[in-house]
Chains A and B, each alone.
Chain A
Amino acid sequence: NAGVTQTPKFQVLKTGQSMTLQCAQDMNHEYMSWYRQDPGMGLRLIHYSVGAGITDQGEVPNGYNVSRSTTEDFPLRLLSAAPSQTSVYFCASSYSGASSGANVLTFGAGSRLTVL
């Protein structure tokens, strides 16, 4: 049981480049989400999805796109990287509904992105 797998773990980009952070989970979780973690700012929600084919914006969506074509995968795309997007990115997933484990997030190991 791999849990939530994020790739790559580290990435350096130049301003204006694009890239995709991959996220996959094997727990059949309905809810998936992307956060960025910056010093003093906590975790801020970028985008989230409550099921395949459904995505919505979080607190800081500008400059990022997502799609959810399958239950397992939730890639995050940076369209034109900017230095302000230098951060640590976490993908997380959970069951929805009323079960005892519902809404408890399982996090990936994180992806550290530096934009020069």
Chain B
Amino acid sequence: GDSVTQMEGPVTLSEEAFLTINCTYTATGYPSLFWYVQYPGEGLQLLLKATKADDKGSNKGFEATYRKETTSFHLEKGSVQVSDSAVYFCALRGGKIIFGKGTRLHILP
């Protein structure tokens, strides 16, 4: 069945560092791919999405490119801020919407 695998956390970086959070997936067909973010004490909200191969989703300085050849959707940001500290979830929509286990990100000032 469909599955999403993302890198284990927590990830700790200094402010202004480059961020990559890896996400790979297994699915039949052509799923839509998503990154959601959960700030402390809040629910999940969409960060970005891509619906077909080679699409790039972007929002708030974050980017991810739908790579069908490597079945990946890695999240990147060039310069992180303390306010980016949160848990990040990779997700896919095939017949249903499923999530990875989440990656906790800590940004140090």
- Which residues of A does B touch, CB under 8 Å? 31, 33, 35, 40-45, 48, 56, 58-59, 90, 92, 94, 102-105, 107-110
The number of residues on chain B lying at the interface, defined by a beta carbon within 8 Å of a beta carbon of chain A, is: 17
Smallest CB separation, A82 vs chain B (Å): 22
Q: B residues within 8 A CB of A105?
A: 36, 44, 46, 97
State A92–B96 Cα separation when bound (angstroms).
12
- Which residues of B does A touch, CB under 8 Å? 32, 34, 36, 43-46, 49, 89, 93, 96-102
Choose one: A31, A58, A59, A104; the contact of B49 (CB below 8 Å). A104
Q: B residues within 8 A CB of A109?
A: 43
Smallest CB separation, A44 vs chain B (Å): 8
A107 touches B44 (CB 8 A): yes
**Most central of B32, B45, B99 by chain A CB within 10 Å:** B99
B43 touches A59 (CB 8 A): no
